[in-house]
Amino acid sequence: MKESNNKHFRILAVDDDPTILDLYRRILSPDDPLPTMPVFEVTCCTQGDEAVETVENSLEDNTPFAVAFLDLNMPPGPDGQWTAGEIHNLDPGINIIMVTGYRSTNTGHEQTKSNFSDQALYLQKPFHRKEIIQFSTALSTKWQAERQLKNLHSELETLVEKRTAELVESNKLLKMEIENRKHVQVELEQSVQNLKKVMDATIQAIAMTVEKRDPYTSGHQMRVAALTRAIAKTIELTEDQVEGAYMAASLHDIGKISLPAEILSKPIKLTEIEISLIQAHAQSGYDILKGIKFPWPIADIIIQHHERLDGSGYPRGLAGDDIAIEARIIGVADVVETMASHRPYRPSMGIEKALEEITRNSGLLYDADVVTACLNIFNEQGFEFPN
């Protein structure tokens, strides 16, 4: 199945009850669908091993599934936890929802058998039609965006490899043609500077691509990066650390590229599902950038920028010094810029309220040295966000 703009997605439903499977079909493939509803192709299985084989065949046919709904208990065959782990091993891109009639997802000893099932989304029976449509639409859109981003990532890697090969060949020719060692050193230093400029421009281009999808927060990453650099200099990080913090701040919300634009610009309170999707942007940003060899640990900084000193942040619940100093700086800069800026769901709260927030939670949520530096930048140095 070729990817296109008609939003046609494949859904896998696995349940030992034929009535439930028929319900999935009637909800996701109705005779008279809403015009705004994507086209869903529903494939049903009654047992876990059958579902695993179906996923394997879909990959061989290049017709992958976007979402899988798995019943937790499917006697006499394997349970949903085993099935989820096997499917995830075959295709990590599938979004899996565990469907259970239990009020708790903890089923005792069996819960420890599949690490992946602990990370999956859960839906309790009896479910509602709206829940199934919302899960399918949001996660299918996320799945499509991640596949597009993966293709873009692959193209960028190919381009980088090509340019690197060209630079290596160019350097070989230079060494053969230039006998003067000092002149060769000057040429190499110039090449490094040119590469740095290209990398800086590429990072800014990626940042602008993310913000194009959310006009309400246009310039957010640029403003956070400017404040991050000012704080990093004030607390006297090394020049290299300052540059790394600035670059990470310029990309700290890149994970939001995998989110539907409707969620980013929604002017009303978000649902729990939408909040969990937005909170996943830190992990998504890490996954996008972890394979790129920057001079700094950009991916590690980005995944930590919503962590808090007391361990209340996300996605890993890190605390104290386990959070990189660059991430602690971006966390403060992000809070200040967000509170001081207009958002779809509220007007600007003002810079004074933002500074009161970080002052009140200095040493609790935010690094005390970083907060002191930030206050000094605004109150003593007269810092203003760039337009």
Walk along the chain (387 residues) in steps of 10 and give the mean pLDDT of each run: 60 95 93 83 95 95 95 91 93 93 52 54 90 91 89 82 78 70 66 61 65 66 93 94 93 80 65 76 88 88 95 94 96 93 73 94 96 95 87
Q: Which has the closest alpha carbon to 385: 343, 337, 342?
A: 337
Residue 34: its pLDDT value, please?
76
- Pick one of 3.40.50.2300, 1.10.1660.10, 3.30.470.20, 1.10.760.10 as the CATH number of 8-144: 3.40.50.2300
Residue 188: its pLDDT value, please?
63
- Pick one of 1.20.120.1730, 3.30.420.40, 3.40.50.300, 1.10.3210.10 as the CATH number of 211-379: 1.10.3210.10
**Phi and psi, residue 169, nearest 5°:** -65, -40
DSSP E strand boundaries for the chain? 8-14, 39-45, 67-71, 95-100, 121-124
| CA–CA gap between residue 266 and residue 345 (Å, rounded) | 7
What count of residues does the chain have?
387
Bond prior to 126 in cis (omega within 30° of 0): yes
**Phi and psi, residue 189, nearest 5°:** -65, -40
Residue 376: its pLDDT value, please?
95
Bridge partner residues of 111 (DSSP): none
CA dist 167 to 118, 164, 188, 199, 375, Å?
Answer: 46, 5, 10, 14, 45
Residue 315: its pLDDT value, please?
93
**CATH 3.40.50.2300 intervals, the chain:** 8-144
Residue 109: its pLDDT value, please?
40
pTM, full prediction: 0.49
**CATH 1.10.3210.10 intervals, the chain:** 211-379
Residue type, 5: N
Beta-carbon contacts of residue 231 (< 8 Å; ≥ 6 apart): 329, 332, 333, 370, 373, 374, 377
- The DSSP code sequence of 156-167 is HHHHHHHHHHHH
